[in-house]
Amino acid sequence: MKYTKLHVIKVGGNVINDATMLLPLLEAFSKLSGYKILVHGGGSKASEVAQRMSVPVEMVEGRRITNDQMIEVVTMVYGGLINKQMVTQLQAMGCDALGLTGADANLILSQKRPVKSGIDYGWVGDPIQIDVKKLRLLLDIGLVPVLAPLTHDGRGHILNTNADTIANMIAVSMSSSFEVHLLYAFELPGVMRELSDPNSLIKVLDRTYYQKLKSKGIVSQGMIPKLDNAFQAIAHGVRRVCITKFDNIHLLASNDEYTTIS
Amino acid sequence: MKYTKLHVIKVGGNVINDATMLLPLLEAFSKLSGYKILVHGGGSKASEVAQRMSVPVEMVEGRRITNDQMIEVVTMVYGGLINKQMVTQLQAMGCDALGLTGADANLILSQKRPVKSGIDYGWVGDPIQIDVKKLRLLLDIGLVPVLAPLTHDGRGHILNTNADTIANMIAVSMSSSFEVHLLYAFELPGVMRELSDPNSLIKVLDRTYYQKLKSKGIVSQGMIPKLDNAFQAIAHGVRRVCITKFDNIHLLASNDEYTTIS
């Protein structure tokens, strides 16, 4: 059986915060042909809005907690402002975008993260179920889902959820009926041996090489969970995982300036 | 040809602002059988958020202007907070809600309101086109659209749009393929001759009677555009327009405590 290709693109905070990167990303995304899903992170706007609204930032052991006021702020900023601005811009580019959270159409059900080692993260959720059939129905009527990093618990609560985790879980879940290509779009051409050296792009990264880079401290702190996710996706049926520059996502077939996880 | 019944429910600010009314409205809506669409207004939360963010309120000749900062606030509050909280609560009640703005799936294209008599309303839009086919596709896959009072201009701008106008235009547009029942849900049983007298409910309101009530000043200022809209909807193919209490919308078949526009 030959599966249809589906691109799942994850775009993170740094690109979202900067219109000079976000617009080229959206243009590249709108040019990508075939079935596609965009998953976006939060960016710094939520902190800015929280500060302007004098919402107190609650931290426990150096980690931000999503308290009652903060879940309202991220629901506004992620589910409203960022998501709807992206949808509106994609529509202007001729891409039939549909903005969603995991609560919409019950697409992503999460479990509120349990209190562990005395840390209560508040309204944070870890996805437990993706409605693959419903996502497929939306794709089949020609829509392009644009997902905000919010899910729900099925009991009336919105939950703040990591966008990498959402992208990964969608990619893995959709592999049962699509040939899934998962792309992480960010500000660099891919994984670099040295951030300052554009010639140090790692074009193919396998587990052995990754372990070596990690043990030498070459892969940075923020990249480690992303790459762990990437290897896990490959192990669970995703055809290809690439880490690439935001304005490059529609050119992967004709270009070799990106990192493929294998 | 026998058309399928479609309920279009409009719920306004007063009900949205108060959880003791909003939850019963959502419960009644979730119990309503068959095809249905919910259109919600803004409520007072946007003003509250604007104030907390020190967003200056711009007024021209007594009317609020949606300036650059205010369109961000209403996009956050209407498209994010209010819409997603309603969707999440409806999902918990077993209703497969899908939160939308007019930008999503290009459902409602608007024209930015032109400057008239020296008044520039800013980012305010008047709907010019509803994608009836797309709305029908969403209904046909079992989803329940929940629409925020936001549309777009097709050129990358989100526009603040009157929720009564959206509900009305959806009801009229969908009449080409559905038997549409348009219900305005609010805090009273219907149109009252005297607000303080529960026995003064007007059960049937026709144009002649409406003109009489208007000329006597019995119909209040805020109700006039709503009723004008209602008569216009009937004239343009909507089967029935009712004005009813928020917790009553699922009982109209078995109850006669509401106002029917005829």
From the number of C-beta atoms within 10 Å of its C-beta (0-12, 13-18, 19+), residue A239 rates as middle
CB contact under 8 A, B72 and A81: yes
Name which residue leads in pLDDT, A208 or B43. A208
Contacts of B49 in chain A (CB under 8 A): 53, 76
Mean pLDDT of B61-88: 94
Closest CB from A76, A134, A155 relative to B80:
A76
Contact B143 A101 (CB under 8 A): no
Answer whether residue B61 shows pLDDT above 80: no
- pLDDT score, position A198: 81
Per-residue pLDDT at A246 exceeds 70: yes
* Amino acid sitting at position B149: P
Residues in chain A with CB shorter than 8 Å from the CB of B81 are: 72, 75-76, 79-80
Between B62 and A139, the more confident residue is A139
Q: What are phi and psi of B26, to 5 degrees?
A: -65, -40
ipTM of the complex: 0.95
Residue A2 has pLDDT above 60, yes or no: yes
- The pLDDT-based confidence of B256 (bands split at 50, 70, 90) is confident
pLDDT of residue A221: 75
Which residues does chain B have within 8 Å of residue A30's beta carbon, measured at their own beta carbons?
none
Mean pLDDT of A225-240: 93
Q: Which of the residue ranges A141-150, A195-204, B168-177, B239-248 would you say has the lowest mean pLDDT? A: A195-204
pLDDT bucket at A5, cuts 50 / 70 / 90? very high
Cβ contacts (< 8 Å) between B101 and chain A: which residues? 84, 87, 99
What is the overall mean pLDDT for chain B?
93
- In this prediction, residues B55-77 reach a mean pLDDT of 90
Confidence of residue B195 (pLDDT cuts 50, 70, 90): confident
Of the candidates A76, A101, A105, which has its C-beta nearest B96's C-beta? A105
pLDDT at residue B1 tops 60: no
Please list the alpha-helical segments (H only) found in chain A: 13-16, 19-31, 45-52, 68-74, 83-92, 132-140, 163-174, 207-215, 223-235
CA A97 to chain B, closest CA, distance in angstroms equals 6
Q: From residue B130, how far is each of A98, A207, B160, B162 by CA, in Å?
A: 15, 51, 16, 14
**Nearest-Cα residue of chain A relative to residue B144:** A105
Residue of B nearest to A51 (CA): B53
Which chain A residues contact residue B23 at CB under 8 A?
none
Measure the CA–CA gap between B69 and B96, rounded to whole angstroms.
33
Nearest CA in chain A to B52: A53
Q: Which residue has the higher pLDDT, B198 or A2?
A: B198
Q: Do residue A49 and residue B76 have CB atoms under 8 angstroms apart?
A: yes
Q: Would the pLDDT of A1 be above 70?
A: no
Q: Do A91 and B152 touch (CB under 8 A)?
A: yes
Q: What is the pLDDT of residues B80-118, one digit of tens each?
A: 999 999 999 999 999 999 999 999 999 999 999 999 888
Q: Which residues of chain B make contact with A131, given a CB cutoff of 8 A?
A: none
Q: What is the pLDDT of residue B117?
A: 86
B interface with A, Cβ–Cβ below 8 Å: 49, 52-54, 72, 75-81, 83-85, 87-89, 91-92, 96-101, 103-106, 134, 137-138, 141, 143, 150, 152, 154-158
What residues contact residue B15 under an 8 Å CB cut-off, 6+ apart?
Answer: B21, B22, B25, B185, B186, B187, B246
Q: Report percent pLDDT > 70 for chain B.
A: 99
The residue among A40, A71, A73, A106 with the most chain B CBs within 10 A of its CB, best to mutate, is A106
pLDDT, residue B96, reads 98
The residue segments making up the domain with residue B139 are 4-261
Q: Looking at the predicted structure, is the pLDDT value of residue B131 above 80?
A: yes
Reference A244, options A231, A228, A260, A232; nearest CA is A260
Domain total of chain B: 1
Could you report the per-residue pLDDT of A50-78, keeping only the tens digit for each? 999 999 888 887 778 999 999 999 999 99
**CATH code, B74:** 3.40.1160.10
The answer to whether B124 and B160 have CB atoms below 8 angstroms apart is: yes
Instruction: Write down the pLDDT at residue A118.
Output: 84
Name which of A104-113, B141-150, B192-201 the model is least confident about: B192-201
Q: Which range has the top average pLDDT, A48-62, A218-232, B26-40?
A: B26-40
Q: What is the mean pLDDT of residues A168-197?
A: 93
Taking the CA of residue A145 and the nearest CA in chain B, the distance in Å comes to: 9
CB contact under 8 A, B78 and A79: no
